[in-house]
Structure 1
Amino acid sequence: MAATDSGFREAGAADAPAIAALLTASWQDAYAGLLPAELLQDRMPALHRDAWAAHFAAPRPGIVLLAEGPEGLRGFCAAWLEGDEAYVDNLHLRPGLRGGGVGRALLGRAVRALAARGAARAALTIIDGNEGALRFYRRLGGVDGAPYPAMLHGEAVAYRRIAWDDAAFLVAACAA
């Protein structure tokens, strides 16, 4: 992928603080009511800073793709190549930008990059109850499974896996 593609570029270590800040703001917006306020407000900023610093110190195979505009970082997508699957670990936008096509563009470009490296399928997990995300991924042809219990930073949550048997189908849906 080129260094820039109409406001999109791969992230580097210098981007870690901006990614962590955007991720925290997105979580505080999207998961209010789904996760404890203490986790979102007090613990999440440091957890995200540490996680992204650690990622760039020892990157996983995959891509961290940024969407930028005149106002700065608009969103990012982090997807890992796990066997023949593009696992979308993060797709987050700055609050207020949902519904404008940035997320769809990020997701399609990230999965396309991993498909070029051998990903035949794609999948992700969401926190159950995040109805906006569930609708978004279903519109793109994702098939969701039943919620299952998990722990997230010491808090009980329910996750829901969403999958695409064909990564190319997801890329095409994102481009439509």
Structure 2
Amino acid sequence: MATVRFRVAEAEDAVAVAALLTASWQESYAGLLPAPLLRDRLPALHAAMWRDHFAAPRPGIVLLAEGEDGLRGFCAAWLEGTEAYVDNLHLRPGLRGGGTGPQLLGRAVAALMARGATRAALTIIEGNDGALRFYHRLGGMAGQPYDAELHGERVRYRPITWARADELVRACGAGG
């Protein structure tokens, strides 16, 4: 198994984070989101989103996983009251199943627990069955789907919650 190093992202990481996010969306959401959004609009949208984030960061953490081959994945989670809201957990295409995702998720949520988070939540796009299975294996409880808008497109989201953030961290093997 390749050595993975974890570190908190900085402003100079914005371009790499945006590129990885775009590649992950293009792989994961093909068939779930319109092809013109994924192909044509997403790179600029993600570049602007991460540039803006690092110019005025939200309370939370953007944690990177890096290997000898560069950025392998990242997790962005925001502290919203006592909730660790996981906004992004993405790996570079082809790297799923190697254990990096749970490590990123567990470490990011643990960092927010140290700042007062007691529960955790995220949303997935309905139809992303692989993500649903992944979060179920980690003890996530799926809520009722709801309609929303994402980059001007109608989507159906499904919330996933953990009443206890420490149980999620433990399930990820990241300690407590």
TM-score for both structures, normalised by structure 1: 0.96
Distance in structure 2 (CA, Å) of the matches to 1:101 and 1:52: 25
For 2:73, the equivalent position in structure 1 comes to 75
1:36-51 equivalences in 2 (<5 Å): 36-51=34-49
1:8 to 6, 28, 32: 6
For 1:85, the equivalent position in structure 2 comes to 83
Runs of 4 or more consecutive aligned structure 1 residues displaced over 6 Å after TM superposition: none
1:121-136 equivalences in 2 (<5 Å): 121-136=119-134
Q: Is this contact kept in 1: 2:10–2:54, CA < 8 A? A: yes
Identity %: 74
Q: Deviations over 1:12-58 (max 9, x none)?
A: 00000000000000000000000000000100000000000000000
1:40-119 equivalences in 2 (<5 Å): 40-119=38-117
Q: Secondary structure at the match of 1:49?
A: helix
Q: Which amino acid aligns with 1:54?
A: D
Q: CA deviation at 1:157?
A: 0.6
Q: Does 1:20 align with 2:42?
A: no
Alpha-carbon distance change, 154 to 160 in structure 1, aligned in 2, over 3 angstroms: same
Alpha-carbon distance change, 9 to 116 in structure 1, aligned in 2, over 3 angstroms: same
Alpha-carbon distance change, 56 to 116 in structure 1, aligned in 2, over 3 angstroms: same
Q: How many residues were matched structurally? A: 172
For 1:164, the equivalent position in structure 2 comes to 162
Q: CA deviation at 1:146?
A: 1.3
- Aligned CA-pair RMSD: 1.1
TM-score for both structures, normalised by structure 2: 0.96
Q: Deviations over 1:113-142 (max 9, x none)?
A: 000000000000000000000000000000
Q: Does 1:145 align with 2:174?
A: no
Unmatched tracts of structure 2, length 5 or more: none
Q: Which amino acid aligns with 1:118?
A: G
Unmatched tracts of structure 1, length 5 or more: none
Distance in structure 1 (CA, Å) of the matches to 2:4 and 2:23: 24
Distance in structure 1 (CA, Å) of the matches to 2:55 and 2:150: 23
